[in-house]
Amino acid sequence: MANTILEMKSITKEFPGVKALDNVNLTVEAGEIHALIGENGAGKSTLMNVLSGTYPAGSYEGDIYYEGKLCQFKTQKDSEALGIVIIHQELALIPLLSIGENMFLGNEIKTGMGYIDWDKTYSEAERHMRQVGLNESAQTLVKDIGTGKQQLVEIAKAFSKKVKLLILDEPTSSLNDEDAKMLLDLLIGFKKDGLTSIIITHKLNEIIYCADKVTIIRDGSTIETLVKGVDEFSEDRIIKGMVGRSMEDRYPVRKRNIQPEINLEVKNWTVHHPLYPERIVDENISFNIRKGEVVGFSGLQGAGRTELAMSIFGRSYGTGITGELYIGGQKVDLRSPQDAIRHKLAYVTEDRKVNGLILDESIRFNTTLARIDKVCRGAVIDQDQEVQVAEDMTKAMGTKTPTIEQNVGNLSGGNQQKVLLGKWMFTEPEILIVDEPTRGIDVGAKYEIYCLINEMVGQGKSVMMISSELPELLGMCDRIYVMNEGHLRAEVAAKDATQESIMGYIIRDANKVQ
């Protein structure tokens, strides 16, 4: 008989003007991987913050039973003391501290005299690192390891807290496919050892791969729990529960109207690393995008795609940049992002929370930020015009918000992405570079963003789409360039490509377009 480790009963959580959770129920059995899924803003992270004590007892209604006992956590330390550990989407690591220092920060191992016992700190850190397959020195600085390994550090840190119930919020959102599979395989291995996991993810294929059950939340309410081997456990079935309807096609149909004129052309583009000038990040890259065309860029992490996009966007990355850049057939020399914007080029960054938006500011403030001069009279902002622009763009993007004065940090990931797109659409670009445009957002919000991209190219504009999701590139693009290790490996028509063929190009040794 299954042993229930967690029951959350009738959980209701309200914020000013918003009921984030409405009578939510969740039951998790010991030793299972339980997925929690729903659209952005459905209440998944809020529910886990209630469980972990981030939202303390008394700030919500309902009961939490853990290992059969009623619990009222006042802080996250209270839940961790019982073995409940949450790993948030934004990793809580300090880059300039070592792995060992990060692992025991706030929980230091001390000698009898009260000093930190560094020998034991590092030896214990490395013991837990081996549990997760991380073969690094515990004295390595976090800034010197990749995102995948940083995720493993967080899990090792959880083991140092004697974790019994591990909660992972979007653990693979910034990982490539290889690192993501390795992490999911770790969770499956931990399950065999009795560890219980709750995973929040928008990647439905990951749920199918590793989860035993999936609980679907919609608009702050529990919809249903599906059990592998009992219920239909497919992506289409999960999507129906999430959005309340079937989605026959995850990519909107676009009537292709590609024009012969080339909007963006890059010739023999080479970029050197900004800190290590002797290192070439992108070498001899040449490509073009026509009016009305969506051109994708595929590749693993470290392939040089983001660096290429940023270097094109006013040399916002790199040094020693050589090559030629043409916009609308005219050779241009873009020395800054402002130059790029003036030439009708826009770049939607892959990291909306760090480089794309100012989270502590309003939708209104963020919307006009890239072209503040358009809402100014002389050196003074015309606030009435700024408000009108923000309201018009919020409506055009379909952003869900009670007011344009809402801080962007309080919006769901999908709505943050719409604000970011609106910010750049306000610059009236002819060429839009979108870097991981749907990372960390649900299928419904993805569809809406795809529609916005299709609308743009339908007007004769051009889109350069960088994505680590091959189905997304195949579903949205007209052509796909494949990159690896700073070189173009191939150029293929999307209609003729498959996931297998693209991966085949990535791992080839050739260093030129096939």
The distance of Cα 433 from the centroid of its chain, to the nearest Å, equals 17
**169's tokens:** 């919020």
**27's tokens:** 């039951």
**266's tokens:** 């890059």
Which residue's structure tokens are 């009108």? 388
Among the residues of 61-176, which ranges form H helices?
Answer: 76-81, 99-103, 118-131, 147-160
Mean pLDDT on 172-198: 86
The amino acid at 412: S
Nearest residue to 157 (alpha-carbon basis) of 97, 245, 244, 234: 97
Q: How much is the pTM?
A: 0.68
Task: Look at residue 246 in the predicted model and tell me its pLDDT.
Answer: 59
Task: Look at residue 183 in the predicted model and tell me its pLDDT.
Answer: 85
Same topology between domain 1-83+164-248 and domain 250-344+431-514 = yes
The domain at 1-83+164-248 falls in which architecture? 3-Layer(aba) Sandwich (3.40)
**Total residues found in the chain within this entry:** 514
Q: Which residues pair with 98 in a beta bridge?
A: 141
Judged against a pLDDT cut of 70, whether residue 507 lies above it is answered with: no
- Count other C-beta atoms under 10 Å from residue 396's C-beta: 15
The ranges assigned to domains in the chain are 1-83+164-248, 92-161, 250-344+431-514, 355-428
Mean pLDDT on 459-488: 92
Q: How far apart are CA 409 and CA 412, in angstroms?
A: 8
pLDDT tens-digit map of 55-80: 999 999 999 999 999 999 999 999 99
pLDDT tens-digit map of 128-169: 998 888 888 999 999 888 877 888 898 888 888 889 999 998
Q: Are 480 and 293 in contact (CB under 8 A)?
A: no
pLDDT tens-digit map of 236-272: 888 888 877 655 678 888 888 899 999 999 999 999 9
pLDDT category at 443 given cuts 50, 70, 90 is: confident
Judged against a pLDDT cut of 50, whether residue 371 lies above it is answered with: yes
The amino acid at 80: E
Q: What is the DSSP letter of 83?
A: T
Handedness of CA 419, 420, 421, 425 (dihedral sign): positive
Q: How many CA atoms lie within 13 A of 154 on its CB side?
A: 24
Q: Which residue has the higher pLDDT, 180 or 189?
A: 189
Class level of CATH domain 250-344+431-514: alpha beta
Judged against a pLDDT cut of 50, whether residue 509 lies above it is answered with: no
